[in-house]
Amino acid sequence: MDSHLKYLLKKYNLHLQYGPSHEKGCIVKTPDGFPDLLMVKEGLSDEETEKVILHEVGHAKNDDYNHRDYKYSYITRVVCEDGADDFVIKERIRQFVALNNEPSQANYVNLAHSIGTNDYDKVRSELLRYIPNKKA
Per-residue pLDDT of 16-42, as tens digits, reads 999 998 999 999 989 988 999 999 999
Please tell me whether residues 133 and 72 are part of one structural domain: yes
Q: Is residue 57 part of a domain?
A: no
Provide the β-strand partners of residue 17.
39
Tell me the average pLDDT of the chain.
91
User: Cα(58)–Cα(19) distance, rounded to whole angstroms?
Assistant: 20
- Total domains, the chain: 2
Q: State what percent of residues in the chain have pLDDT above 70.
A: 95
Confidence of residue 67 (pLDDT cuts 50, 70, 90): low
Residues 69 and 36 in one domain: no
Residues 68 and 122 in one domain: yes
Does 17 map to a domain?
yes
- In terms of domains, do 28 and 74 share one? no
Q: What percent of the chain has pLDDT over 90?
A: 77
Question: Are residues 77 and 134 located together in one domain of the fold?
Answer: yes
pTM of the entire structure?
Answer: 0.87
Same domain, 29 and 93: no
Do 26 and 77 belong to one domain?
A: no
Residue 66 has pLDDT above 70, yes or no: no
Residue 59 has pLDDT above 60, yes or no: yes
> Are 116 and 71 found together in one domain?
yes
* 68 and 125 both lie in a single domain: yes
Question: Which of 10-19, 40-49, 72-81 comes out lowest in average pLDDT?
Answer: 72-81
One domain for residues 93 and 133? yes
Among 109, 104, 112, residue whose Cα is nearest residue 129: 104
One domain for residues 67 and 42? no
> Residue 26 belongs to what domain range?
1-46
> In sequence order, which residues have a C-beta less than 8 Å from that of residue 69 and are 6 or more positions away?
76
- Alpha-carbon distance 32 to 86, whole Å? 27
- Give yes or no: residues 14 and 79 share one domain: no
133 has pLDDT over 80: no
